[in-house]
Amino acid sequence: MCVKRQEGRMKLNSLLIILLGEALAFDPFTHGPYRAKHKTYYGLMNQDLDNMIDVWVPDTIDTVDSPIMVMVGGLGGLMPGVAYSTIFERVTSYGFTVVQPFSANLINNYEGVWLDDILSWVELHLRDKLDEEDIGSGVVLNHRNIFLASHSAGGHVVVEYLKHHCGDVKGSIFMSPVDGFDPFGWIDLFAITPGEYLNYESPALVLMAGLDAQKGTSLTPACAPDDLSNTRFYDAFPGTTWFINATEYGHVDGLEQMFVDGVQISHFCAASTDDVPKEVYRSFLGGEIVTFMSHVLGRETCDISKYMEDPSIMPIKTTVMRKTSTLPVQDECMQGHCQWQEDPFPQTRK
């Protein structure tokens, strides 16, 4: 009888261990363990800060190593951070800090170098600002693990920045990226030369919306024309790159609902129909960003790459592509890096 009871307890313990392991398993499409706190800092009220920035930080007293994602929003940096709140809250819930600067200087924005001033201010002042307001006391801002992210024409800004230098960037994320200054491509201001690789090599994630290239009306250009967006970026990256196309969604469907509603009313961009769930899409975008950064930093097991490569486990309809680096990298897992050189990388691939 004692032996049977002991065997029963062992089976119960094994079951509990399995269930606990499943409960703790990485699932980027659910909320992470941390609560996000949002703050806005204004240039006129903060020393050395020329631009307004929105910040999302894990609000915890537990010690958390927090890599930093700097996001350049749509319209080359004119979109405010609050337009992406749901995505940023998901990313922050996994221990990352998000910084989105707002800049109204259209011409200088597209050169990208102004991001150095943002990174400098964040490193010199952000921790003190958070301490003053008793936010995220356990968060250790990791300024040596930087990711650059973007949406729409913000992708041009990120590429231009990295063409100048890599700094501490470990990878980059592009949501429906668009190259150039205007949607018609009339102004000769492009970051990418088709047929050439860029002059930096780094892991990248491209998140396309399937309706990007569709026009909002017959009188307006598409917000992300085929020849200026998405695959234009994918083809230009010499590093390991994941490409995920959310086939049912439009160019701004990942923004907060009030922004989506405004676009649907104005028909500025093509948008998905009302019956296509936008909250699921925002969760998907946040989850893919979390997966990418966690993967290249080795914060989870290497097999989490399946969340970027297997459409069957994604919460929305997608198609995916992936290419490996032109450089002899053994495994992109735990390979966050950025290698810069003066000239474009040669057109060779393993």
Residue 283 has pLDDT above 50, yes or no: yes
Q: How far apart are CA 233 and CA 254, in angstroms?
A: 20
- Mean pLDDT, residues 30-55: 91
Listed in sequence order, the residues at least 6 apart from 173 whose beta carbon sits closer than 8 Å to its beta carbon are 69, 147, 148, 149, 150, 204, 205, 207, 289, 292, 293
Q: How far apart are CA 123 and CA 236, in angstroms?
A: 31
Residue 216 has pLDDT above 50, yes or no: yes
Q: How far apart are CA 76 and CA 55, in angstroms?
A: 18
Q: How far apart are CA 43 and CA 33, in angstroms?
A: 32
Give residue 330's pLDDT. 60
Question: Residue 344: how many CA atoms within 13 Å on its side-chain side?
Answer: 16
Domains of the chain, earliest start first: 30-340 (3.40.50.1820)
What is the percent of the chain where pLDDT is above 70?
Answer: 88
Q: What is the mean pLDDT of the chain?
A: 89
H/E stretch holding 259 reads: helix 257-266
Residue 274 has pLDDT above 60, yes or no: yes
Give residue 333's pLDDT. 87
Q: How far apart are CA 31 and CA 27, in angstroms?
A: 8
Look up residue 261 and give its two tokens.
């509603």
Residue 17 has pLDDT above 60, yes or no: no
Q: What does pTM read for this prediction?
A: 0.90
pLDDT in tens, 303-317: 999 999 999 999 999
What is the percent of the chain where pLDDT is above 90?
Answer: 70
Q: How far apart are CA 347 and CA 349, in angstroms?
A: 7
pLDDT in tens, 135-176: 999 999 999 999 999 999 999 999 999 999 999 999 999 999
- Mean pLDDT, residues 111-139: 94
